[in-house]
Chain A
Amino acid sequence: MSEIFQRFGKTLGGIFLALVLLWLAGLVLVPGIYMVNASLTPRLPPALRGGPEDVYVLDNFAYLLNHPNHGWIFFKTIWSSALVTFTTLLLCYPIAYWLAHVARQWQMRLMLVLMLVPYLMNEVLRGLAWYIILAFSGPLNAALMWLGLLDEPQRWYGDGGVVAGMAYAYILFMLFPIYNAICTLDRDQINAARNLGSSTWRIHWRIVLPHAKVGIATGCVFVFMMAAGSYVAPALLGAPGSRWFTQLVYEWFFEIGNWNRGAAYGVALMAMCLTVVLGLLALFRVNLTSAIK
């Protein structure tokens, strides 16, 4: 800490520290604690608050555990988010490599511009695009029937649709970290490996992938996070059988009106995300500091 004052002087250093404190404590930590606090208290009408019933209980979490379906939805959300993550990873790796080491300048520029466009619009519109495509009487069914691949229209809304829509919505969050990581790979590493007689597969497996590890981990963390925490895509592209955990949280808040239980569900979601993120980082043997750059 003393170094901050040494570097910026008392006044400036003080202002900087105050801003940081304001942010981390005021905007992140305290509200977070508040949410946890709310999740541990029962929902009470205003009249009863502060009364004998206003005590810490685990009811809200117990409800989640005991519910016949919610636990399942919880795990399905994790699983589907992982699926989204994996799909985007598979889709992105070849493109990232191509962009970083194969494409010519203009090809790279064009591709980057093309990719930025959907990203610069908003998530709801990206979801809407898929909402239109996947509609029962939408263009996908029309095209497939025209091609003779389908005899009658299929319903695409549901878990499959949600995964597709999310993969589309978040693909850039996977692509850019991997691309950045691969960009920093010295091309001589590839040359050296080939020079030593290595095949293309081996070059990727032994040289490029290990190098891109940090980028891959970052991309996975981001995409997983976003998928697990997304409300738009499941709301738009879901079907009767495909509810996501975020929808449950939303319902507790805005349909049933039990905020405390909603907070508990939110805490569960956050805990799950952090667990998976830390697990991913451990799996890739990447630490938080080197990821997310």
Chain B
Amino acid sequence: APFIARGSWARASSGELRLAAWAGYISPEMLDAFEKATGIKTTYTPYGTNEEILSMMRVNQGSGFDAIWPALDRVPNYVEDGLIQPIDESRVEWDRCIDSAIKSSETLGAVVDGKRYQVPTDWGTEALTFDTEKLPLEYGSASYADLWQPELAGKVTVRGHSALVGLALWLEREGKLPRPFLDSFKDADAMRANYDVILAEAIARKATIAQFWSNQNEAQGAFRTNGCILGQTWDSTAAGLKDEGLPISYLAPREGALSWMEGISLPLGSENVEQAYAFINWMLTPEAGAMYASHARVNTTAKGADAFLPQEMKTFFQNAYPEDAIDNLWWWPVQENWFVEIRGEYQDKFLSA
């Protein structure tokens, strides 16, 4: 019964954009502006993690939404499971997008088997968030290692799987990894060899962790109400806390901030493709980009958005990435399904320990 199989009989294809995006990325003002610009109404469903939206797509076999917002490095997962469709590049206003983003996204996951599956819209990092009063950090000396110091027992928050990556970068710098860390993303044996070492180190130092976060809200909660003074979090997390007036700052460590890019992809079952492209193109306008960046506190790929950004955002950016930090970013390589599965295994062992 196709009627049932659509999964939802309450909404028909109505010309309304059904958008699934990260929680906190879309503000009502943005939706209003979008509607004003294009006449398209939008319903917005938030999610908190890459896994959440991926599994939602899996459960619904790629239907239910017209546009989703996965991380660039996870796009191949969707392609492998046949959940998203290639982008019709002719319908995208590429000249609105920063060139370097278009270029680097090709190698970082947006293009699979020669077909593009995602239009990059923003990028951000995961680095050190710290309490400026209780634990001031300096660029150059600050390191992922700081998270694992025994004297910080019960005062740190990290995310399960990315904490292992940060730890890996420190261990690699110390020369303690058996294989080059980037090989882990290409070869399961290399990965296991490296991750065994990383995991052992992480478990030995687990006492510092007060709380694991998996989404922005939890990460912020760790600082707000759970007594944490240092964490490995997204830049937007720290920016949000700082906005609230908390003595929080954000800094790239010497090993390099973990950087990701995100963008909009079209699920296989997208019913309002027209509207989805309209949204992509609107997101790349400088005004929309600025609105977006200042609401979500991530960095937009829309050309010329800087001009519209408030001053404190620019200051935050400069403080976070002083000196050569911007050149030193560590970009997430593609994480294929096999990698994610093994990654999950190690994360689980880490969490369960």
Contacts and interface: CB of A to CB of B under 8 A. Distances in A.
| Complex contact flag A–B (Cβ < 8 Å) | yes
Interface of A: 45-46, 68-70, 72-73, 135-138, 153, 155, 157, 239-240, 243, 248, 251, 253-258
Given A255-B49, A255-B344, A256-B340, 11 more contacts: A45-B80, A45-B81, A45-B337, A46-B81, A46-B82, A69-B353, A136-B225, A136-B227, A240-B209, A248-B348, A255-B55
28 contacts: A45-B80, A45-B81, A46-B81, A46-B82, A68-B349, A68-B352, A136-B226, A136-B227, A137-B224, A153-B227, A155-B226, A155-B227, A239-B210, A240-B209, A240-B212, A240-B351, A243-B351, A243-B352, A254-B52, A254-B55, A255-B51, A256-B340, A256-B344, A256-B345, A256-B348, A257-B51, A257-B54, A257-B340
Given A136-B227, A138-B225, A251 B348 contact: yes
B341 interface: yes
A248 B344 CA distance: 11
B129 interface: no
A254 B210 contact: no
B143 interface: no
Nearest to B53: A254
B58 interface: yes
Name the prevailing secondary structure of the A interface residues.
Answer: loop
Contacts of A137: 224-227
Contacts of B225: 135-138
Contacts of B81: 45-46
B128 to A, nearest CB: 19
Interface in B222-248: 224-227
A240 B211 contact: yes
A137 B223 CA distance: 10
A218 B190 CA distance: 53
A240 B348 CA distance: 11
B218 to A, nearest CB: 10
B209 to A, nearest CB: 5
A239 B227 contact: no
A240 B349 contact: no
Interface in B179-234: 206, 209-212, 224-227
Q: In this complex, which of A68, A136, A253 has the most chain B Cβ atoms within 10 angstroms of its Cβ?
A: A136
B352 A239 contact: no
B86 interface: no
B254 to A, nearest CB: 26
B154 interface: yes
Contacts of A255: 49, 51, 55, 344
B51 A254 contact: yes
Given A153-B227, A257-B54, A69 B349 contact: yes
A138 B225 CA distance: 7
A155 B224 CA distance: 14
A54 to B, nearest CB: 17
B182 to A, nearest CB: 22
Contacts of B54: 257
4 closest Cβ pairs, A-B complex: A69-B352, A256-B344, A255-B51, A254-B55
Contacts of B344: 251, 255-256
B341 A258 contact: yes
A239 B211 contact: yes
Nearest to B77: A257
B223 to A, nearest CB: 10
Contacts of A248: 348
Contacts of B226: 135-137, 155, 157
B229 to A, nearest CB: 12
Nearest to A72: B352
A254 B209 CA distance: 24
A90 B154 CA distance: 33
Contact of B352 (A73, A135, A157): A73
A73 B51 CA distance: 23
Which of B58, B212, B351, B352 gathers the greatest number of chain A CB atoms within 10 Å?
A: B352
A255 B52 CA distance: 7
Given A257-B55, A257-B58, A240 B341 contact: no
Nearest to B55: A254
Nearest to B157: A240
A68 B352 CA distance: 9
B156 to A, nearest CB: 10
A69 B341 CA distance: 18
A251 B343 CA distance: 12
A72 B352 CA distance: 9
A155 B154 contact: yes
A101 to B, nearest CB: 44
A70 B352 contact: yes
A104 to B, nearest CB: 43
A256 B341 contact: yes
A84 to B, nearest CB: 21
Interface string B50-73: 011011001000000000000000
Contacts of A70: 352
A253 B211 contact: no
A240 B211 CA distance: 6
A240 B353 CA distance: 9
A120 B224 CA distance: 30
